[in-house]
Chain A
Amino acid sequence: DGGITQSPKYLFRKEGQNVTLSCEQNLNHDAMYWYRQDPGQGLRLIYYSQIVNDFQKGDIAEGYSVSREKKESFPLTVTSAQKNPTAFYLCASSFTGGAGRTEAFFGQGTRLTVV
């Protein structure tokens, strides 16, 4: 079955460490997105990518980095520069052009906790 997979489901990070969240999709989608979800704030865009080897900052990119070396993969690294990384992270993907399916498909999410 086609879908979008995030791993791990739960992640614990010590202060000062970098951690990488994985996101893989087999839907042949061009675009991929990372969102951060905090209580009462909805989904805030961290980074997005419309094509391999290209990505753009979203509204809250500081302290995060991404790469898009393959169409299927869009990993997110939470660096030690991110002051408050404890949150729920959602990865999504979508088609970018043409008619038809225009919605975003989401992974199951990763809950990151700083310990």
Chain B
Amino acid sequence: AQTVTQSQPEMSVQEAETVTLSCTYDTSESDYYLFWYKQPPSRQMILVIRQEAYKQQNATENRFSVNFQKAAKSFSLKISDSQLGDAAMYFCAYRSAFYRNQFYFGTGTSLTVIP
């Protein structure tokens, strides 16, 4: 089974500043999908951003962008101009493009935004 590692249990950022959350994964596959999910205090899981492994260009969604390093098996999330509403748990997830049967999640990073 693939493993997804988030080595930062907690992070904090000043409002309007930039923060980067780390994620590494272990796989022998060449084609897969990577995701970042946000879980605010309501506990509703919300997709933040998605990256296809075959695409070299890093995905961007407004203030959220990723740094996808395929050879290093690294998938970090950068949040620019942090807002109070960004405070949440963030989960990194992996899904095989061939064996589309499971998602593998990291243990999460709790992000605090300081006013």
Residues of A within 8 A of B (CB): 31, 33, 35, 40-43, 45, 48, 50, 56, 58, 88, 90, 92, 94, 96-97, 102-106, 108-109
Contact = CB atoms under 8 A, between A and B. Distances in A.
- Main secondary structure, interface of A, reads strand
Contacts of B95: 102, 104
Closest 5 CB pairs of A and B: A106-B45, A42-B107, A43-B105, A102-B33, A96-B100
Interface of B: 9, 33, 35, 42-45, 47, 50, 52, 91, 93, 95, 97, 100-103, 105-108
B91 A104 contact: no
Contacts, number: 53
Contact of B101 (A35, A50, A90, A109): A50
A90 B45 contact: yes
